[in-house]
Structures are given as structure tokens and as C-alpha cells.
Amino acid sequence: MELNIYNIKGEDTGKKVVLNDSIYCIEPNDHVIYLDVKQYLANQRQGTHKAKQRSEMSGSTRKLGRQKGGGGARRGDINSPVLVGGARVFGPVPRDYGFKLNKKVKQLARKSALSYKAKDGNIVVLDSVNFEVPKTKDFVAMVKSLNVADKKLLIILPEQNKNVYLSARNIKGAEVITVSELNTYSVLNASVLLIEESAVEGIEKQFNA
């Protein structure tokens, strides 16, 4: 697949970039996309929820009533789960929601997500993305000149760029990541991908590593 390269003013530079068909033109696999997104969202969960178990509550352990004959459930003390204000049975406890996914599964998921974007024509390659100083106005001007101002954007850079990150930080729906941070969720969550030309090569190296 061949795409034109634009500058941050929205002008065609006359150069072209060839996207690797083995990354951007595969038959997408929806199931591995589901698994990778599920893992990503699971890893975002803190898992710090906690409810007190029966043994952790304070309260008298005096037996409140007869074992049988009362017409209701048995209850041994004031902390019984069958009483209002009693303990919770099998309540949530701190846990890690993460789970393992094989490297090849994650790679296939990212390739599938990128292929969907390429198929829909939602990838724009820029020769360079850089601002002299952090300025939201400059970022807004760039996306307007590229006719993507009203869309959710994912800007993919070869390495960290503080000026670009700070310029885009206050823009709703805009996310700036590096090649090493590329993930299926961010790709699918964006409407358009803005990829710096040197990042295209970095993405290829990441998949061939």
C-alpha cells in the first residue's frame, strides 16, 4: 500500500511511503482483537475493592437465638450475613485482573487493527510532527489543515516529543504515543491515525523483532 506524505500544514510533500502489506493489508482477526482489548482494559483495573468478611467485623459473638424452632435462618452472632448490617458473604477482595496473552496473538491483534484503519483510509502519514514550543494553538492549526479536527486522533511518533505531547494534551479526543507504546485499544479507539514517516519504519521493526 502506498500513501502520500503530508506536512503539518496539510500540504502534499510530493513524497510517498510504502506500507508493509504484511502489517497493514492482512485479513483482520476479530477474535484476537477482542482478546487483546480485553487484556488491555483488564490491566487498567486497580483491583483494590474490598468488603469485610465475617471474621473481620467487630461485634458480639453471643448466640442471638435458638438453633432451631425460630422459624428463620440459623444465626450464630450479630455479624451473621442474614442480618441487616451483618457481614457480606464472598465479598470482593483485592485481586489482579491481568491475564497472559502470547506475543504472536498480540502482534496479530495490532496488525488487524492497523489493517482496519488502512482499509478504511484512516491513516495519514506526516513527514515530521514537531513544534518549536508547546502550543495548543499550533496543534489545532495542524489538525484543521489536515481536515481531521472533528475526529478522534492517535498521533504515533518514533520517540517521545514533549512539545507535541503538551500541545495535544488539552485537546479532547487526541492521544500521542510512541511506537513502543502502540496497542490495539488505542488504534481502534481513534478515528484517524497520524503517523510520522520515521515511525512507519519503527512499526515495521517492532513487528519483525
Mean pLDDT value across residues 130-142: 92
Mean pLDDT value across residues 48-67: 86
Taking CA 54 as the corner, what is the angle to CA 48 and CA 56, rounded to the nearest 5 degrees? Answer: 60
Q: Could you give the count of Cα atoms lying within 13 Å of 96 in the half-sphere of its Cβ?
A: 3
For residue 19, give the nearest of 180, 195, 178 by alpha carbon: 195
For residue 142, give the nearest of 201, 200, 198, 196 by alpha carbon: 196
Q: State the pLDDT confidence band at 124, using cuts at 50, 70 and 90.
A: very high
Domains and CATH numbers, the chain: 2-45+99-208 (3.40.1370.10), 47-96 (no CATH)
DSSP 104-129: HHHHHHHHHHHHHHHHTT-EEEES--
- The pLDDT of residue 209 is 60
178 bridge partner residues: 157
Residue 15 has pLDDT above 70, yes or no: yes
Is 196:158 a contact under the CB 8 Å cutoff? Answer: yes
Dist CA 124 CA 111 (whole Å): 17
Kind and range of the H or E element at 37? helix 30-44
Q: What is the pLDDT of residues 59-97, one digit of tens each?
A: 888 888 888 888 878 888 888 888 888 888 899 999 999
- The pLDDT of residue 207 is 87
Q: Could you give the count of Cα atoms lying within 13 Å of 99 in the half-sphere of its Cβ?
A: 8
